[in-house]
C-alpha cells in the first residue's frame, strides 16, 4: 500500500488529523490497535476549550456538538464550604464546551466513514521503519496478514503506551516526568448533575470533581491512593467519600444512584522530546501526559493536530517544509504552558499523603486568595479556557 501520511492510532488525535488532512486532499491510512467499540467505550475527557471546538467545526464535525454540547460560562472551586466561582465569560469573554470524548470520537468516525477514509482496526505488530530517511514505511499485521505501507510522513497518535515514541532511539529522547502519589476514581451515573457548573473541590478528605455530560448523566471523581483497586470501592463508599468532599450546600441536593462505569486513572505529568524524528511526528498523549485536573489532555492533543495538519498539508501539497521544521517548537511552547497549569492545579487541589500541615495551609490560602482577587481568577480562567493558538 501507499499513502501520503500513515497515522498510528485511531483515538481523538489520529482521527481528527486524518479528517483535516483528507479534507485538504492529503491521503491517509489510520492504523488502530483495538476495535472501534473499544475506542468509543473509553470515558475520558469532558471539557473542550474554544480552540478545540473551532477545530472540530473546521473538520466538519461540529454539528452535533453545537446541538447537544453544553457551553459553560464558569466553574466553581471549593474549599470545604467556601465556593469560588470563576466566571470565564466575564473574565476572558470566552466559554468552554461540555461534550464528552466518546461523542467527539463518535462524530469523527462518522465523518471519516462519510468521506470513505481508510481506518484499519485490530492491527498488531506496528513497526515504523526508516523514519529518519526520505522513504519511511510502516509494517503491521492485519487479519492475519503482514502488510506494508510506503508513505511520505508518519504521525504517531498512538497514546502513552504506543510504539511511535519508542521508535525514536532512546539516547536521542529526553523525558521529563512527575508521577503523583494518587489516582482518580471516576464514576458515571444516570443522575442529574450536583450543580449546573463543574466543581473542583479541595477538602480535608482530599480532592473531588463534580462534572457532567448532560442533564441526566453525571461524572464524578475522587482522589484515591494508587494502591486502591476499583473492586474496593462500592457505589455506597464512593458516594460517601464524594459527599465528604463537596460543599454542604451542594450535598443537600445531591442525587446519588448506581454507577454505570467506574475506573481508576493514575495521575502523571510527562513530556518526551523531541516531537520529531525525521519524518515521524509525535502528537497528543504519545508525546505528553498531563494530570486531568486542568482538563487539558484532549485539548492539547487538538492543538498539536492544529500545528501538524497545517505543516503536513504545506509539505505534501506544496513541498514547503518550513511548517514541519517548526512543528516541534510551536507545539512544545504550548505544551509546556499547559503542563505548568495542570501541575499547579493538581498541587493546589490534592492532598499528598504524608504531607505536613504547611501544605494544607498553602492550599487553603491559594483558594482564599482566588476568592478575593479578580487578577488570580482571571489568570486561572485564561489558562482554563485555553491559551491561544
Ligand atoms: P489516545 O486517546 O490514547 O488514543 C491513542 C490510540 O492509539 C488508542 O485508540 C490506542 O488504542 C491506539 N494505539 C495504541 N498503541 C497502538 C499501536 N501500537 N498501534 C496502533 N494503535 C495503537 N483531557 C481533556 O482535554 N479534558 C478532560 O476533561 C480530560 N479528562 C480526562 C479524564 C480522565 C479520567 C482521563 C484518563 C483522561 C482525561 N483527559 C482529558 C485526557 C484525554 O482523554 C487524552 O489526552 C486523549 O485521549 C488523548 O488523545 P490521543 O488520541 O492523543 O490518545
Ligand atoms: C472531566 C474530567 C476532567 O479531568 C476535568 O478536569 C473536567 C471534567 C470530565 O470527565 O467531565
Cβ pair 109, 49 in contact under 8 A: no
Q: What is the mean pLDDT of residues 81-100?
A: 98
Residue 34 cell numbers, joined: 483495538
Residue 107 near residue 65, CB atoms below 8 Å: yes
Segment 366-382, tens digit of pLDDT: 999 999 999 999 999 99
Ligand sitting nearest the alpha carbon of 44: 1
pLDDT bracket for residue 203 (50, 70, 90):
very high
Strand partners, 189: 218, 259
Return the percentage of the chain with pLDDT > 70, whole number: 100
What is the pLDDT at residue 43?
87
Distance of alpha carbon 48 from alpha carbon 102, whole angstroms:
12
CA dihedral 318, 319, 323, 325 (to 10 degrees): 180
Is there a contact between 22 and 112 (Cβ–Cβ < 8 Å)? yes
- Give the catalytic positions in this structure: 72, 200, 292, 296, 384
**Rg of the Cα atoms in the chain:** 21
Does the pLDDT at position 39 exceed 90? Answer: yes
Give pLDDT tens digits for 98-120: 999 999 999 999 999 999 999 99
Give the mean pLDDT of 31-60.
95
Distance CA 375, CA 369 (A): 10
pTM, 2 dp: 0.97
Can you give the pLDDT at residue 204? 94
DSSP state of 352: P
CB of 299 sitting under 6 A from ligand 2: no
Q: Is the CB of 183 under 6 A from ligand 1?
A: no
Residue 4 makes CB contacts below 8 A (sequence gap 6+) with 21, 26, 27, 28, 151, 152, 153, 312, 316
The mean pLDDT value of the chain amounts to 97
Nearest to 28 by CA among 107, 104, 103, 108: 108
Instruction: Answer whether residue 176 shows pLDDT above 90.
Output: yes
Whose alpha carbon is nearest atom 5 of ligand 2?
295
Using CA atoms, how far apart are residues 159 and 265, in angstroms rounded to an integer? 14
pLDDT, tens digit (0-9, with 9 covering 90-100), for 271-280: 999 999 999 9
Summarised one tens digit per residue, pLDDT across range 129-153 is 999 999 999 999 999 999 999 999 9
Please state, as a whole number, how many other Cβ atoms lie within 10 Å of the Cβ of residue 252.
Answer: 9
Amino acid at each position: 500500500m501507499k499513502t501520503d501520511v500513515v497515522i498510528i492510532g485511531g483515538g481523538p488525535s489520529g482521527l481528527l488529523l486524518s479528517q483535516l488532512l483528507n479534507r485538504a486532499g492529503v491521503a491517509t491510512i489510520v492504523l488502530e490497535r483495538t476495535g472501534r467499540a473499544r475506542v468509543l467505550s473509553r470515558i475520558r475527557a469532558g471539557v473542550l476549550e474554544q480552540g478545540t471546538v473551532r477545530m472540530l467545526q473546521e473538520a466538519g464535525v461540529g454539528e452535533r456538538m453545537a446541538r447537544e454540547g453544553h457551553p459553560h460560562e464558569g466553574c466553581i472551586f471549593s474549599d470545604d464550604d467556601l465556593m469560588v466561582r470563576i466566571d470565564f465569560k466575564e473574565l476572558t469573554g470566552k466559554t468552554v464546551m461540555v461534550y464528552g470524548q466518546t461523542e467527539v470520537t463518535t462524530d469523527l468516525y462518522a465523518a471519516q466513514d462519510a468521506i470513505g477514509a481508510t481506518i484499519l482496526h485490530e492491527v498488531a505488530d506496528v513497526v515504523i521503519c526508516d523514519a529518519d530517511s526520505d522513504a519511511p514505511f510502516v509494517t503491521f499485521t492485519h487479519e492475519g496478514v503482514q502488510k506494508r505501507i510506503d508513505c511520505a510522513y508518519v504521525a504517531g497518535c498512538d497514546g502513552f503506551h504506543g510504539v511511535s515514541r519508542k521508535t525514536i532511539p532512546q539516547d536521542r529522547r529526553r523525558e521529563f516526568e512527575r508521577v503523583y502519589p494518587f489516582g482518580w476514581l471516576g464514576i458515571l451515573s444516570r443522575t442529574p448533575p450536583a450543580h449546573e457548573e463543574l466543581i473542583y473541590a479541595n477538602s480535608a478528605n482530599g480532592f473531588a470533581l463534580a462534572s457532567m455530560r448532560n442533564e441526566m448523566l453525571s461524572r464524578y471523581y475522587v482522589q484515591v491512593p494508587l494502591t486502591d483497586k476499583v473492586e474496593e470501592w462500592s457505589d455506597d463508599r464512593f458516594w460517601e467519600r464524594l459527599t465528604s468532599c463537596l460543599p454542604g450546600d451542594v450535598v443537600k441536593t445531591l442525587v446519588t444512584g448506581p454507577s454505570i462505569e467506574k475506573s481508576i486513572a493514575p495521575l502523571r505529568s510527562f513530556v518526551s522530546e523531541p516531537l520529531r524524528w525525521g519524518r515521524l511526528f509525535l502528537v497528543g498523549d504519545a508525546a505528553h501526559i498531563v494530570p486531568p485536573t486542568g482538563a487539558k489532555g484532549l485539548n492539547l492533543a487538538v492543538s498539536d493536530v492544529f500545528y501538524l495538519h497545517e505543516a503536513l498539508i504545506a509539505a505534501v501539497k506544496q513541498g514547503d517544509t518550513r511548517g514541519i521544521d517548526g512543528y516541534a517548537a510551536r507545539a512544545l511552547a504550548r505544551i509546556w504552558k499547559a503542563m505548568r497549569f495542570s501541575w499547579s492545579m493538581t498541587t493546589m487541589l490534592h492532598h499528598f499523603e504524608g504531607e505536613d500541615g504547611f501544605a494544607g495551609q498553602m492550599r487553603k490560602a491559594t483558594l482564599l486568595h482566588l476568592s478575593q482577587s479578580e487578577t488570580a481568577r482571571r489568570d486561572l480562567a485564561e489558562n482554563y479556557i485555553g491559551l491561544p493558538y
